[in-house]
Amino acid sequence: MGASVFLRRFMLIAAAVGTIAAQSRAAESQSTPGVSDTHIKIGQTIAYSGPASSFATIGRTQAAYYRMVNDAGGVNGRKIEFITLDDGYSPPKTVEQTRRLVERDQVFGIFGSLGTPTNASVQRYLNERKVPQMFLFTGTSRFRDPQHYPWTIGGDLSFVSETRGFAKFILTEKPDAKIAVLYQNDDYGKDHLNTLKAALGDKAKTMIVAEASYEVTDPTVDSQVVGLKASGADTLLDIALPKFAAQAIRKVAEVDWHPLHIVPYPASSIPLVMQPAGLDHSVGVVTAEFLKEPGDPAWQNDPEVRAYLGFMKNYNPGVDPNDWSNVIAYYMASAVVEALKSCGAEVSRERLLDRVSHMEEVAVPMLIPGITLNTTPTDYHAIKQMRLKRFDGARWVPLGGIISE
């Protein structure tokens, strides 16, 4: 066989193989909703209106982050098409908007949706259809249950881990504490309350002296705070959204109550909670953290913080970079992009599930050094580490080093 004949045959075979591979990629793109050769379409619902609208900045910051990623070439050559819809923090609206995203817009998955009751309202629907519901803005344990909901996973510190850390802190700081608990009347509040009782063990019956709940539709929590003070408690676990946490901090000051005041990380934003409550009233409040605080002088030369501040200046101007909601939005969008990148060229829902359920010491921008994402197919608690911090009237000051649940 002449060299020229062999070369022609080789080129024909190579072309055929390339055509088959291209057809295979095209077939996969067509069989996977939201994925084409050039784009990955993802969806989200969030409260742009309603009682949790202070979190609307999360959706806008994530949209800005994906624009930045697209300007840099996208994810393995594919641009992210991000559809973010308002659900008003209302579960019926979440159902309506999620069905639109899945059935009409044909998104690849739901990423970064906000809220415990809202995400819970569509959890079964998405899992039955094997649609990824991932990197959610809620630390509730029901979104870390691979046995019943393998397609659902949160991406932030779990509330169970956080409250165990609070319980240890209380037992160390005030072993004879009289604890009052203000909690949102849903899985968000009950996860914290039930975990606190479990972590305190037999001491819970004597240490927890009062409980009061509120609904997200309530105008204020003033009456609850007054009632909790009357219990004689010297410690307050304040499991609230930013609006209600700010009200509680202010009311605690107004009634001249001086408890050890603890709030969960979703209610730790200085612009959304401490400033509305009054910076002077917020002195001494304790919370948990797993992300770097941009306004903390300790991070002023940190490359990740500098990159975050540069992103905010160029892609999200006019928004407070020190608002914790923007920090976690940036972190979570980074996690989504890293997960999509890990799929490689062949993007499918099944491959994404495999990658997200096998994370091992995955580092994502803005995580405090020593904290990484770790999952297994039987453990969806991606982050179990944290650090406690106390507000000094101007900024958060760390209390010790990294702790684990």
Which sequence spans correspond to the domains of the chain? 39-157+299-374, 160-289+389-404
Residue 144 main-chain phi, psi, to 5 deg? -135, 50
Residue 404 is predicted with a pLDDT of 80
Mean per-residue pLDDT over the chain, rounded: 92
pLDDT tens digits for 124-177? Answer: 999 999 999 999 999 999 999 999 999 999 999 999 999 999 999 999 999 999
Is the pLDDT score of 390 beyond 80?
yes
**CATH topology of 39-157+299-374 equal to that of 160-289+389-404?**
yes
Run of H or E residues at 386:
strand 385-391
User: DSSP letter at 282?
Assistant: T
Q: Tell me the C-alpha distance between 193 and 384, whole Å.
A: 18
* The residue type at 281: H
Mean pLDDT of the 306-332 span: 96
Higher-pLDDT residue of 269 and 208 is: 208
Per the listing, tokens 């106390």 go with 390
CATH architecture of 160-289+389-404: 3-Layer(aba) Sandwich (3.40)
Helical pair 222-229 and 242-254, crossing angle rounded to 10 deg: 50
Is the pLDDT score of 6 beyond 70?
no
Is the pLDDT score of 291 beyond 60?
yes
CB 248 within 8 A of CB 225: yes
Q: Tell me the C-alpha distance between 139 and 378, whole Å.
A: 17
CB 99 within 8 A of CB 125: yes
Mean pLDDT of the 371-384 span: 95
Q: What percent of the chain has pLDDT over 90?
A: 86
Residue 405 is predicted with a pLDDT of 64
Q: Three-class SS of residue 379?
A: strand
* The residue type at 271: P
C-alpha closest to that of 268 among 61, 51, 47, 54? 54
39-157+299-374 has which fold? Rossmann fold (3.40.50)
Is the pLDDT score of 16 beyond 90?
no
CB 245 within 8 A of CB 273: yes
Q: Tell me the C-alpha distance between 201 and 196, whole Å.
A: 9
